[in-house]
Amino acid sequence: MPPPISGLHHVSAIAGPPQRAVDFYVGTLGLRLVKRTVNFDDPGTYHLYFGDDAARPGTLMTLFPMPNAVAGRSGVGMTSATAYAVAPDALDEWMGRFADRGLDFDAPAERFGEPVLAFRDPDGPPLELVGSGDAADETPAYFHGTTLALADPEPTARVLGLLGYEEVGEEDGRRRFRAAGGGPASLVDLVRTDERGRPGAGTVHHIAFRVADDEAERAWADALRSAGLVPTEIRDRQYFRSIYFREPGGVLFEIATDGPGFAVDEPPDALGSALKLPPWLEDRRAALERRLPGLTLPTA
């Protein structure tokens, strides 16, 4: 078998207007805009990456912001929430911050012995802050995990097992799986639902799992085929390389490499400061810059 998956690499979602996305993830959550590029499959739209200061895998929320996107709704075969880990005593401060900014949030609940604060990006996917003993920071950095909504969790559970995840608990019908080795961004929860979803703004497009390098990527592509799954060819995403496959419950999974990383086309202290394009789109730069709206970074 290939080396076990070490956790989440990134989560990619569809959002509303790009400036509001930047205002929220940078100005409200305090993340860093670590890359402004375009959707390689639809270059007329942005692809924005938000993460910690070093743009480490496991911290990266990526958005396809679409000003005129119809609102979506999470349901069967989709990601129903993405959670960031924060220090356990930080949730009161976050509730005050959200209230000051007029954001909707739920009363804290307990899940697997940890406090959970559910809230929503005004134009993006459902989010949670989890007070985790593994997190020392009061501001989000690494993911805590993600929740998948499924008509029948069992086939997805088997795929997670193939990826090296171990089932570590069940509570109120929620099954929790942890990547080999544990650590940040290592959890995936499965919940049963019969609610029908609708893709659009506010829904997650796919979740990505991390592997170290190209050799591991190729080994996983072979392992998935041997298990009867249908991964894509390896795709160059400039900052990592990826394969994609649809797991039996309907969720789009990606496996992404840790490298070459986000400093491949701009220095670490300038991440996210300019529009970066892959070599095959450079001849369209002038036209794309005219089409894409300017972005202003707020103060966190």
Give the pLDDT mean for 147-168: 98
Altogether, the residues listed in the chain come to a count of: 300
Domain ranges of the chain: 8-291
More confident residue, 283 or 135: 283
Cα–Cα distance, 11 to 51 (Å, whole number):
11
Segment 185-242, tens digit of pLDDT: 999 999 999 999 999 999 999 999 999 999 999 999 999 999 999 999 999 999 999 9
4 confidence band (pLDDT: 50, 70, 90): confident
Give the pLDDT mean for 108-129: 93
Q: Is residue 162 predicted with pLDDT exceeding 90?
A: yes
Q: Identify the pLDDT of residue 243.
A: 98
Tell me the HSE value of 106 on the side-chain side, using a 13 A CA sphere: 14
Question: What pTM was estimated for this model as a whole?
Answer: 0.97
Helix (H), strand (E) at residue 96: helix 91-100
Give the pLDDT mean for 130-136: 85
Q: Identify the pLDDT of residue 47.
A: 98
Q: Is residue 249 predicted with pLDDT exceeding 90?
A: yes
Give the pLDDT mean for 105-114: 96
120 confidence band (pLDDT: 50, 70, 90): confident
More confident residue, 120 or 247: 247
The answer to whether residues 88 and 131 touch, using CB atoms and an 8 Å cutoff, is yes
Give percent above pLDDT 70 in the chain: 100
User: What CATH number should be reported for the domain whose range is 8-291?
Assistant: 3.10.180.10
Q: Identify the pLDDT of residue 12.
A: 98
Q: Is residue 300 predicted with pLDDT exceeding 70?
A: no
Segment 253-268, tens digit of pLDDT: 999 999 999 999 999 9
The answer to whether residues 243 and 221 touch, using CB atoms and an 8 Å cutoff, is yes
Provide the Cα torsion 190, 164, 3, 225; round to 10°: -80
Mean pLDDT of the chain: 95
Q: List C-alpha distances in Å: 242 to 148, 220, 230, 272, 286.
A: 21, 11, 14, 21, 28
Which residues are within 8 A (CB) of 205 and not within 5 positions of it... i.e. 6 or more apart? 12, 13, 14, 64, 199, 252
Segment 25-53, tens digit of pLDDT: 999 999 999 999 999 999 999 999 999 99
Q: Identify the pLDDT of residue 1.
A: 78
Cα–Cα distance, 248 to 158 (Å, whole number):
9
Q: Identify the pLDDT of residue 299.
A: 72
Q: List C-alpha distances in Å: 193 to 76, 112, 150.
A: 6, 20, 6
Strands, E, within the chain: which ranges?
A: 8-15, 32-39, 42-51, 60-65, 78-86, 109-111, 114-120, 126-131, 143-150, 166-171, 174-178, 187-192, 204-211, 235-236, 241-246, 252-257
Q: Identify the pLDDT of residue 112.
A: 97
